[in-house]
Amino acid sequence: MIANGIARKHVPDLKTLQRTCEVNYLSLMRLLPATAKVGETVSVAISEEVLFVLRVLETAAYTWHASIEQCSPNLPSFMRMRLKVRLYHDVRMAEVCASQQIFALRSSYHYPNSKMHHPNEKEQVNLFLAEWLKCCLSHGFSTVKQI
């Protein structure tokens, strides 16, 4: 954003981001087993050609790290969705901490920047996760039974 010729840093809407992360947590916990172990995977398919694998990377008392990766064979690897998500069990929130080739998402970016990240990149990828989870829960089928 530029006002009076001065570039201003994006200020995230924390209430909206928190609400999105809460919804993402509840949705992810419907897909992941309640007592997941490191290395455990869950497959979610939208169709025969669109398959995703959720993998538990780390577990601790209050936090898990999980990855979500698209495994569709007809897409080149650079076009496949890849996310790393941190789940906070104590506050029941899940946030995207890495996306595609961004290995650590910042809360905001100055724009323009050399990597061409959007000022609100973190908000956008968390909203993308929310939409993806909604699609999976509405149209997909998983290896985990819904309770």
pLDDT number for residue 19: 96
pLDDT number for residue 147: 42
> pLDDT by residue for the chain (147 residues), tens digit each?
455 555 666 666 779 989 999 999 999 999 998 888 999 999 999 888 888 999 999 999 999 999 999 988 788 888 888 999 999 999 999 999 887 665 555 565 555 666 555 556 788 889 989 999 999 999 887 655 444
pLDDT number for residue 146: 46
pLDDT number for residue 48: 80
pLDDT number for residue 134: 94
Question: Is the CB of residue 94 less than 8 Å from the CB of residue 88?
Answer: yes
Burial of 40 (0-12, 13-18, 19+ CB in 10 A): middle
DSSP state of 140: -
**How big is the CA angle at 123 (ends 68 and 128), to the nearest 5 degrees?**
40
Q: What is the DSSP string of 49-91?
A: S-EEEEEEEEE-SSEEEEEEEE--TTS-GGGS-EEEEEEETTT
Paired with 6 in beta bridges are 3
